[in-house]
Copies of this chain bind each other. A is one copy, B any other.
Amino acid sequence: MTSVIQLEECRERIRKELDTVVDFWLRYSHDPDHGGFFNCIGRDGKVYDDLKYVWLQGRQVWMYCRLYRTVERFHKPEILEAAKAGGAFLRRFARVSGGCGGDWKCAFCLTRDGKPVKIQRTIFSECFYILAMDELSRVTGDTDMQLEANQMMEQLIYWVQEDASGLGRPQLAGDAPTNNMAVPMMLLCLVHQITEGRGPDVVGKYRKLGCWCVQQILQHIQRNGTAILENVSPEGGELPGCKGRLQNPGHALEAGWFLLQFSAEQSDQVLQRTAINKYLELPFQDGWDKEHGGLFYFLDVDKHCPTQLEWNMKLWWPHCEALIAFLMAYKQTKNPELLQRFFQVYEYTFSHFPDCQGGEWFGYLTQEGKVALDFKGGPFKGETSAATQQMQHIFDSCKSVHELE
């Protein structure tokens, strides 16, 4: 019973947080002159740089549409209009033709008026572009946009499974081919996005890809099942050096809930157990800072010091992924230990990251939990509403929190 009350409190806090966060971005991030969104927003809501980051542009379009489409109180014209304006900016400017990526490569960063500043030689800008277009087309019914999302998805699959040379990174003799967990994770996320609620033809078309992604993610269970490693060889072996030993607990937890979601769709109980035992428990055990609380950003499986300068910082997003993962796992299993994990992460997260004065969350804390960077939005930090929306969605998918008990 105590946990029901606690859960109800969490649900209410998350609901309020979602309102505050959405309000923050509606108020401060829109660019009426050039379309799209400002991403670099200071503690007080002021724009400190007008560069536009394609990951974050895509996420914000996706978020607005998702909220508009699935949460009644956000089904408002200003949210739809903002999403459309963001989508139009992306369609007009994000794709940079002329390089070796053909017509499909997207920039990583654009000027305020849409000129490309930087192109990453990875697939992630394109992933967020697809997320935005698929979700926006669901709201607007724009079939042309839908088609574009599907076509770009085909290009991504080609880059990942057939030939990555179009991404522009030269293949070097000493650069060992790598299965980086981010790639199958993002593709699995896209499979979920593109197939959700769609007919059996679409679901069928992407089933094989989904299974391939899961198999690629499962290759990251290493050291006789005792650790999740970020980078493995394409054959699923451990890679040498720091790269091979790298752990990113938040990322593993995120993979965990992607797998949980997939296991629920496929009614795959073996996968569900693997997701919980390997992708939730192991990174939580290894990644939780026993001295100061919170999840480390990077670790080395052999306890060497990571070479990333920010390894011991506490970032908002691993905590969001952990909250979603443990809440989802608890919902699926009703195992009270998983609920306790959720409460433990919840306690740290909500006492450290939200800015009760200015709204939104701080993104980056020191190991000891002090705010180290006080902006609300930056090159890699956008709105925290995706995570709160996801948690609210889990709560809302039950009639009441009693159903979670």
A interface residues, Cβ below 8 angstroms from B: 40, 42-43, 48-51, 96, 99, 107, 109-111, 114-119, 170, 172-175, 240-242, 300, 304-307, 309-313, 364, 366-367, 372-375, 378-379
Inter-chain CA distance A175–B367, complex, in Å, is 35
Instruction: Provide the residues of chain B in CB contact with A114, threshold 8 Å.
Output: 174
A242, B307: Cβ atoms closer than 8 Å: no
Inter-chain CA distance A312–B371, complex, in Å, is 11
B366, A119: Cβ atoms closer than 8 Å: no
What are 26 A-B contacts defined by CB distance under 8 Å? A40-B241, A40-B307, A42-B304, A48-B242, A48-B300, A49-B240, A49-B307, A50-B240, A51-B241, A107-B172, A115-B174, A116-B173, A116-B174, A116-B175, A118-B172, A118-B175, A304-B375, A305-B373, A306-B373, A307-B378, A309-B309, A309-B310, A309-B313, A309-B364, A310-B310, A311-B373
Also in contact, A116 and B367, with CB within 8 A (given A307-B378, A372-B309, A373-B305)? no
Inter-chain CA distance A310–B367, complex, in Å, is 12
Task: Determine how close the nearest CB of chain B comes to the CB of A206; give it in whole angstroms.
Answer: 33
Also in contact, A173 and B115, with CB within 8 A (given A40-B307, A304-B42, A373-B307)? yes
Inter-chain CA distance A175–B118, complex, in Å, is 7
Task: Determine how close the nearest CB of chain B comes to the CB of A248; give it in whole angstroms.
Answer: 14
Instruction: Provide the residues of chain B in CB contact with A174, threshold 8 Å.
Output: 109-111, 114-117
Inter-chain CA distance A373–B297, complex, in Å, is 14
Inter-chain CA distance A375–B309, complex, in Å, is 11
Name the contact of A242 in the complex, choosing from B49, B300, B310 (C-beta under 8 A): B49
B375, A305: Cβ atoms closer than 8 Å: yes
A305, B374: Cβ atoms closer than 8 Å: yes
Name the contact of A366 in the complex, choosing from B48, B107, B366 (C-beta under 8 A): B366
Inter-chain CA distance A115–B42, complex, in Å, is 44
A307, B173: Cβ atoms closer than 8 Å: no
Instruction: Provide the residues of chain B in CB contact with A367, threshold 8 Å.
Output: 366, 372
Extra contacts, 9 of them, besides A115-B174, A119-B170, A309-B309 (Cβ < 8 A), are: A40-B242, A40-B307, A49-B307, A96-B172, A109-B174, A110-B174, A111-B174, A115-B173, A117-B172
Inter-chain CA distance A391–B366, complex, in Å, is 34
Closest to A300 in B: B48
Copies in the complex: 2
B116, A50: Cβ atoms closer than 8 Å: no
Name the contact of A172 in the complex, choosing from B42, B115, B300, B374 (C-beta under 8 A): B115
Closest to A380 in B: B307
Inter-chain CA distance A48–B241, complex, in Å, is 7
Instruction: Provide the residues of chain B in CB contact with A172, threshold 8 Å.
Output: 96, 107, 115-119
Most buried by B among A172, A242, A310: A172
Closest to A175 in B: B117
Closest to A47 in B: B241
Task: Determine how close the nearest CB of chain B comes to the CB of A121; give it in whole angstroms.
Answer: 11
Task: Determine how close the nearest CB of chain B comes to the CB of A195; give it in whole angstroms.
Answer: 35
Instruction: Provide the residues of chain B in CB contact with A373, threshold 8 Å.
Output: 305-307, 309, 311
Inter-chain CA distance A104–B313, complex, in Å, is 39
Task: Determine how close the nearest CB of chain B comes to the CB of A51; give it in whole angstroms.
Answer: 6
Inter-chain CA distance A114–B241, complex, in Å, is 15
Inter-chain CA distance A313–B308, complex, in Å, is 13
B175, A307: Cβ atoms closer than 8 Å: no
Instruction: Provide the residues of chain B in CB contact with A312, threshold 8 Å.
Output: 372
Instruction: Provide the residues of chain B in CB contact with A307, threshold 8 Å.
Output: 40, 49, 373, 375, 378-379
Instruction: Provide the residues of chain B in CB contact with A304, threshold 8 Å.
Output: 42, 48, 375
Instruction: Provide the residues of chain B in CB contact with A40, threshold 8 Å.
Output: 241-242, 307
Instruction: Provide the residues of chain B in CB contact with A118, threshold 8 Å.
Output: 172, 175
Inter-chain CA distance A364–B367, complex, in Å, is 14
